[in-house]
Structure 1
Amino acid sequence: MTAKTGGLRAGLLALTVALMASTGIAHAEGELNIYNWGNYTSPEMIKKFEDKYKVKVTITDYDSNDTALAKVRQGGSGFDMVVPSQNYLPIWISEGLLLETDPGKMENAKNIAPEWANPDFDPGRKYSVPWAMGIVGVVVNTSAYQGDINTWGIIFNTPPELKGKVNVVPEMTDVIDAAVLYNGGKKCTGDREILKKVRDTLLKAKPDWVAMEYGTIEKMGSGDIMASSDWNGSAFRQRLANPKVKFGYPKEGYVNWSDNLVVLKDAKNVENAKLFQNFMMDPENAGMNSAFHRYANGIAGSEAFMPADMKDAPEIKIPDEFKSVGVPSQTCPPDVQALYTKIWTELQK
């Protein structure tokens, strides 16, 4: 080989690598460490990513937004990615915990549904991509209770048939938001009279609960508990295990939320994390993930890759009479968040 041809080949190789990197199709290898809600990630979808990019994915579970935030705040978590809810995402951003990866400019960003392309919690999608979206409501085993399930009264004024059989999923903001709406307040209210009613409601209701835990899919499905506050995708999976389980849309109001995939500022595997963000904006991959966790997502066209039973599922398709009482999840001001935390601390005693 002459010096000239060797230089030409080296130049072509460098050009090829540069082009692959610029188009986002670079061949990746190595690792990716994801910190996510438990039982929320499709193993089939992860295997597809691993096979395509030769990246070993490790998933570590958490059970609440507060748990995830506290862990990462400590530093040195070793995680590359996390999936916070939209009302917590501005906190992560403001505290400088996230890397600005500009997923809104990635190749597959064109697949984000228009209503999710420029959300208030992450304008322009500079940090996040949609993972899932859902509703906070109630689930009831109708073999134990045949009354109205479309009310927070199931949790906060428990019917006699359900006393001692009710669980509350201990996500602080979800529980307090529900109690605020039940007492006629608005989400993120700082009204002291409303919050006093919220505190009194929670403390009075707690003796009628049997537990405050996250493992509702198994326990509602098996009949170990008969009602719970819960998310609609979880309720869907419970119904698949036990047809007597129904999801209720509280007429007093309920919160619509989304969870979003972001990259940590101190991520060790940044390029692999970016590949995964782009990968999750492909309709087939987002649909595969929804087929597992049973929530909708913000990727247009993903419905074609979901099971047929998701199209008109009562947990996914909001009845017309309850559409108007849904309110968007939002970040409460720090002073209101402090009041929420004070009430929550008292409830835990």
Structure 2
Amino acid sequence: MRRTLTATAAGLAMLASANIASAEGVLNIYNWGNYTSPEMIKKFEDEFKVKVTITDYDSNDTALAKVRQGGHGFDIVVPSQNYVAIWISEGLLLETRPDQMENFKNVAEEWKGTEFDPGRHYTVPWAMGTVGVVVNTDVYKGDINTWGIIFDTPDELKGKVNVVPEMNDVIDAAVLYNGGKKCTGDKEILKKVRDTLVAAKPNWVAMEYGTIEKMLAGDFSAGSDWNGSALRQRLKNPAIHFGYPKEGFVNWSDNVGVIKDAKNVENAKLFQNFMMDPKNAAMNSAFHRYANGIAGSDEFMPEDMKDAPEVNVPEEFKAVGVPSQTCAPEVQEIYTRIWTELQK
């Protein structure tokens, strides 16, 4: 059963004063690049008299490897849901009990209890979205709702496709394209996945994370991407659209955790609670352009997000979305072998 904090008005005022007093200092955030609202960070700094430093990473594996090594100096990390269980099982996250924090009441019901963090003892929602394809429809006029854009690239797009090199996203997409289920251990499917990726790679121009600028510049005309990135692109070029692959696509979330050996634990807890406030979550979403899992935040979201097809999955595609999950170690090992071969 979820436990909640209760206090009288006077008690809450005293608690707030104590938090502000103890919060003076610093907070070191380790997060995905181009993913944190400067305006939201300034609000946190001003409210709690905390100086925030943000260091970027480009993949879940990069973040995990860095923290495993120790001596990193970070307090906060924002892993994807298929990695959260790994962080918890390896003892890399502090059990901060967000479920007992004042603003936990604002977390949307479907995100209060999750398979990757049961009862929300470690993490709070940051953003959620989907993995799909992005296409400049001035260049390609065909069906964009297929992984065929990536794995059986149309002639018009050959040499113009970028694949965002997040290992699990790419291999999951190839699994779904070949009729398999996410995290499958079926060796026949995984052999097809390997063959599909190796055959497709010569038709790609790059495997890079920085898609927005190069799509807008015309260096790329299509690619695998995340929906918030695609929305940013469409708002600057209406010809760029996000496709929901009919073969299936992954729904994911990223979540704010406190690293076990954090030096600024109380400030980190304040930040977790701060991110569960609807206004703060909306301010962050207005920057990164993803949904956030905080009930009531829609009221404060930018108008151009409220009906955006990139943020709101169209009804006809909802049935083929699958949740991100942590694969069994033996499956992850095969994924890694396939990925290593693809990098050659």
Separation in structure 2 between the aligned mates of residue 164 and residue 68 of structure 1, nearest angstrom? 30
Residue 91 (structure 1) aligned to one of 86, 104, 116: 86
- Are the equivalent residues in 2 in contact too, given 1:24–1:107 (CA < 8 A)? no
Does residue 181 of structure 1 match 2:185? no
User: Paired residue for 1:49?
Assistant: 44
Q: Secondary structure at the match of 2:70?
A: coil
Please tell me the residue identity of whatever aligns with 1:143.
Answer: D
| CA distance in structure 1 between the partners assigned to 2:12 and 2:129 by the alignment | 41
1:267 aligns with 2:262: yes
Report the residue type matching 1:322 in the other structure. F
Deviations 1:250-298 (A, max 9, x none): 0000000000000000000000000000000000000000000000011
1:15-41 deviation digits (Å, cap 9, x = unpaired): 999942798565520000000000000
Q: Which residue of 2 aligns with 1:316?
A: 311
Deviation of the 1:317 alpha carbon: 1.5
Question: Paired residue for 1:73, among 68, 72, 92?
Answer: 68
Q: TM-score normalised to the size of structure 2? A: 0.95
Q: How far, CA to CA, are the matches of 1:105 and 1:24 in structure 2?
A: 15
**Corresponding residue of 1:164:** 159
Give the superposition deviation at 1:240. 1.2
Out of 273-282 and 316-325, give the one that drifted further: 316-325
Partner of 1:202: 197
Q: Does 2:213 match 1:214?
A: no
Query: Between the two proteins, what is the percent identity of the paired residues?
Result: 80
- Unmatched segments (≥5 aa) in structure 1: 1-14
Q: How big is the shift at 1:181?
A: 0.1
Q: Distance in 2 between matches of 1:198 and 1:16?
A: 58
Partner of 1:137: 132
State the partner residue of 2:116: 121
Q: Which has the larger radius of gyration?
A: 1
Could you say which residue in structure 1 is the equivalent of 2:3? none
SS in 2 for 1:61: strand
Question: Residues 29 and 75 of structure 2 are in contact (CA less than 8 Å); yes or no, is this contact kept in structure 1?
Answer: yes
- Provide the secondary structure at the position in 2 that maps to 1:284: helix
Task: Tell whether 2:55 aligns with 1:60.
Answer: yes
SS at match of 1:133: strand
Partner of 1:256: 251
Q: 1:21 to 1:96 in 2, by over 3 A?
A: farther
* Kept after mapping to 2: 8 A contact 1:20/1:26: no
Residue aligning to 2:291:
296
CA distance in 2, matches of 1:221, 1:260: 29
CA contact (8 A) 2:22 2:266 kept: no
The 2-side partners of 1:176 and 1:109 are apart by: 34
The match for 1:20 is: 15
Query: 1:17, 1:26 within 8 Å by CA — same for their partners in 2?
Result: no
Please report the RMSD computed on the Cα atoms of aligned residues, expressed in angstroms.
1.6
> In 2, distance between residues paired with 1:326 and 1:230?
15
Report if aligned partners of 2:174, 2:196 keep a CA contact under 8 Å in 1: yes
Output the CA distance in 2 between the equivalents of 1:168 and 1:316.
21
Residue-by-residue CA offset, 1:228-263 (whole Å, 9 max, x unaligned): 100000000011121110000000000000000000
Name which of 19, 26, 35 aligns with 1:40.
35
Partner deviation per Cα, 1:148-170 (whole Å, 9 max, x = no partner): 00000000000000000000000
> Quick check: 1:149 aligned with 2:164?
no
Residue 5 of structure 2: aligned partner: none
Task: Give the aligned length.
Answer: 335
Distance (Å, rounded) in 2 between the aligned partners of 1:231 and 1:16? 43
**How many angstroms does 1:217 deviate by?**
1.1
Ranges in structure 2 where 5+ consecutive residues have no aligned partner? 1-9
CA distance in 1, matches of 2:247, 2:170: 14
Distance in 1 between residues matched to 2:22 and 2:335, nearest whole Å: 47
- Report Cα offsets for 1:67-110 as digits up to 9, x if no partner: 00000000010000000000000000000001000011100000
- Aligned-partner residue type, residue 111 of structure 1: N
CA distance in 2, matches of 1:200, 1:221: 31
CA distance in 1, matches of 2:17, 2:107: 21
Of 187, 191, 213, which residue of structure 2 is paired with 1:192? 187
Are 2:330 and 1:335 aligned? yes
Q: What SS does the aligned partner of 1:295 have?
A: coil
Counterpart of 1:337, as a letter, is Q
Q: Secondary structure at the match of 1:140?
A: strand
Contact 2:20 2:48 in 1 (8 A): no
- 1:173-228: per-residue Cα shift (whole Å, max 9, x none)? 00000000000000000000000000000000000000000000111122110001
Q: Are residues 1:240 and 2:235 paired?
A: yes
AA in 2 matched with 1:38: G
Using the alignment, how far apart are the partners of 2:217 and 2:63 within structure 1? 29
